[in-house]
Structure 1
Amino acid sequence: MELRCRFCRTYSDEEDIFCRGCGVRLLTSRRYDLSRADYAYEGDLEKLTLLKELVTPAALLKAFYLKKAISLHEKEVSSRSIYVKRNSSLGSLLVWCADKLCLKYLPKMYIDHELGFNAYSFGLDEKPYVVVGEALLKALTQQEVTALLAHELGHIGCGHMLYHTLAEFILQGVTFSASALGIPLVEAPLRFALLSWRRESEVSADRASLLVTDSVEAVRSLLQKVVALNNRANTTYDALSELISSHPHLTRRLTLINEYYRSPEYDKAKRKIEKRSLVRKALLPICRFCGAEKPPSSLFCPRCGRSLV
């Protein structure tokens, strides 16, 4: 069945999940959809609240100059990258991960020839981007690639994009005009708050990665491999790097991943994922038990009578 996007009016198949035009989620939220409350780290939320208090009003950060900087950065990235099409194997995996995290928008994705063993996300909540280094992608297993994509998508799901982009641009040396934005972006308190919050935001993204893969080993292997690859390449990376920072910080993150995996919050989130999967299967036009055709709205098979939820 074709659905018409309520924003850009593009027609997409229901199976596309996200609009072919603007990337917005086609189906409305349901009871068992994941939200950032299911995996956002407490330290992330606390420091983000403090950060918002330093930036008043936050709407100023969405000024024309920032949008222009994002647009210019995308052009720069795209000039040295491969755009990941949705119907490719990697694009399909991106859609699968984004659907599992119930994102509102599917990001555009690029494979950057020059990024090395790293990855990052940038943009705004309604227009996000994911960039992965080609060298990193080639070095990872399929399970680690899934963990990587889920990590980046976790930032989007948590609503990190605005401040995450500012932190990323500061680290990359992008200069902001205070007069254009109306706030002193380069002042020490805001700069410190941005970079301090960014450390905590990585924990939330790690949790999202764990929910998608359901594997502590996959997340641990990804992070440790990125550290090893960068060390082997003698790469000098910032202490607040997107995926890794330093060995002590990595140890802390692995500890927090294990704690979340054993927590009631993780069990609750996994149950939501399982129930959502059952509801989706129940709405299929075919009974998963006997294979008979059925109305998509029927929760019981007309032939075998079994409940489909």
Structure 2
Amino acid sequence: MFAELRLFTLLLSKILTADDFRHPIDKQNTLILRAIPGLNELGKALLGSVAEQVMLLENIGTSVLVSKNQLSDLHHLMVEAAKILSVDAPDLYVRQSPVPNAYTLAISGKRPFVVVHTSLVELLTRKELQAVLAHELGHLKCDHGVWLTYANILALGAYSIPGLGGLIAQTLEEQLFRWLRAAELTCDRAALLVAQDPKVVISVLMKLAGGCPSLADQLNVDAFLEQARSYEKASSSPVGWYIRNAQTRQLSHPLPVLRAREIDEWSRSPAYRSLLNRAAQFNSMQKV
């Protein structure tokens, strides 16, 4: 069964494009960012070779580079996820940190890299960890890494503009966070396409919200989804809607319960089933 599932997902990679799973709000906010005059040019100027070298050397000097000969299990998880999503596998670094996190950097069109913190590795199962890697690969599939890096530096640079600099930066920052929250929902979908099990993705979100290795075997995905539904109901009133927006406006990621609800709904959607049906049809054509 596991081998058949992997064959199915590898066939999916032959037909998969970023727009097949991109969240609608991500599409909308990406268009808004692209419409900002001079964003690309300014981003390229700010992200010169010096900044690139600083980030590269920082990771080489303080992290462990994963390869066939170094942490080979993680290397296999990354390569397999990259094949399913039809992207080139980036460099993968493991970095010592007590804060569970993973992130992607893509600079000036050079080889991107993903960094995973040791505490996240300790917190997750191998399937969950691959879902995280797939999430990061989703950023690369959709060119999120480049946009995120450019927009962050642009926002910082805008504060130095006399007079309206702070206002420009604040406006751009809010716009950036709106886009980034939508981009995270897109990449959760990429994680689902690799995991092929919504409970694996939701379990990652649950553990990031309140998990630790000693409690991992007691956590319940269904109970977390019920919690997500309760939040949705509580925030549906006018006052709840205001509080919810105040909670999330300055966040780079949607709340974990909202992400869990989103991925659960997409896993049941006609769009997701249609994508899997296309893969099945492609499979049938290959056998003829």
TM-score scaled by structure 1? 0.66
Match of residue 50, structure 1, among 32, 37, 46: 32
Instruction: After TM superposition, give the deviation of residue 66 of structure 1 in Å.
Output: 4.3
Instruction: After TM superposition, give the deviation of residue 120 of structure 1 in Å.
Output: 0.8
Task: Give the letter for the 1:121 counterpart.
Answer: T
Task: Give the letter for the 2:94 counterpart.
Answer: I
Structure 2 CA distance for partners of 1:74 and 1:272, relative to 1, 3 Å: farther
Report the equivalent of 1:37. 19
Does 1:118 pair with 2:101?
yes
Structure (1 or 2) with the larger CA radius of gyration: 1
Does 1:89 pair with 2:73?
yes
Instruction: After TM superposition, give the deviation of residue 240 of structure 1 in Å.
Output: 3.2
Q: Deviations over 1:207-250 (max 9, x none)?
A: 000111111100000011012148x9xxxxx9635xx55xxx22
Match of residue 262, structure 1, among 246, 268, 279: 268
Q: Deviations over 1:36-64 (max 9, x none)?
A: 11110000110111112124352432236
Distance in 2 (CA, whole Å) between partners of 1:76 and 1:265 is: 41
Distance in 2 (CA, whole Å) between partners of 1:109 and 1:31 is: 21
Structure 2 CA distance for partners of 1:276 and 1:127, relative to 1, 3 Å: farther
When structure 1 is superposed on structure 2, of 125-134 and 56-65 the one drifting more is 56-65
Instruction: After TM superposition, give the deviation of residue 128 of structure 1 in Å.
Output: 1.6
Structure 1: which 5+ residue stretches go unaligned? 1-29, 233-237, 283-307
Instruction: After TM superposition, give the deviation of residue 268 of structure 1 in Å.
Output: 2.4
Match of residue 251, structure 2, among 208, 220, 240: 240
Task: Give the letter for the 1:79 counterpart.
Answer: G
Does 1:251 pair with 2:234?
no
Structure 2 CA distance for partners of 1:223 and 1:167, relative to 1, 3 Å: farther
The total of aligned residue pairs comes to 234
1:32–1:275: 8 Å Cα contact kept in structure 2? Answer: no
Does 1:71 pair with 2:82?
no
Report the equivalent of 2:227. none
Distance in 2 (CA, whole Å) between partners of 1:51 and 1:33 is: 27
Instruction: After TM superposition, give the deviation of residue 127 of structure 1 in Å.
Output: 2.3
Match of residue 210, structure 2, among 216, 228, 238: 228
Report the equivalent of 2:138. 154
What is the 5 A alignment of 1:99-110? 99-103=83-87, 105-110=88-93
Structure 2: which 5+ residue stretches go unaligned? 1-11, 215-248
Report the equivalent of 2:170. 188
2:16–2:86: 8 Å Cα contact kept in structure 1? Answer: yes
Q: Deviations over 1:155-198 (max 9, x none)?
A: 11111111222456689xxx54899xxxx797222222112211
Structure 2 CA distance for partners of 1:73 and 1:99, relative to 1, 3 Å: same
1:84–1:111: 8 Å Cα contact kept in structure 2? Answer: yes
Distance in 1 (CA, whole Å) between partners of 2:205 and 2:195 is: 14
Distance in 2 (CA, whole Å) between partners of 1:63 and 1:272 is: 42
Structure 2 CA distance for partners of 1:147 and 1:250, relative to 1, 3 Å: same
Task: Give the letter for the 2:260 counterpart.
Answer: L
Task: Give the letter for the 2:144 counterpart.
Answer: H
Structure 2 CA distance for partners of 1:139 and 1:46, relative to 1, 3 Å: same
Instruction: Determine helix, strand or coil for the equivalent of 2:276.
Output: helix
Does 1:139 pair with 2:123?
yes
1:107–1:128: 8 Å Cα contact kept in structure 2? Answer: yes
Distance in 2 (CA, whole Å) between partners of 1:148 and 1:80 is: 21
Match of residue 200, structure 2, among 218, 228, 235: 218
Structure 2 CA distance for partners of 1:122 and 1:151, relative to 1, 3 Å: same
RMSD of equivalent CA atoms? 3.2
Structure 2 CA distance for partners of 1:65 and 1:58, relative to 1, 3 Å: closer
1:216–1:258: 8 Å Cα contact kept in structure 2? Answer: yes
Structure 2 CA distance for partners of 1:157 and 1:198, relative to 1, 3 Å: same
Task: Give the letter for the 2:75 counterpart.
Answer: G
Instruction: Determine helix, strand or coil for the equivalent of 1:127.
Output: coil
Distance in 1 (CA, whole Å) between partners of 2:142 and 2:266 is: 16
2:43–2:154: 8 Å Cα contact kept in structure 1? Answer: no
2:158–2:169: 8 Å Cα contact kept in structure 1? Answer: no
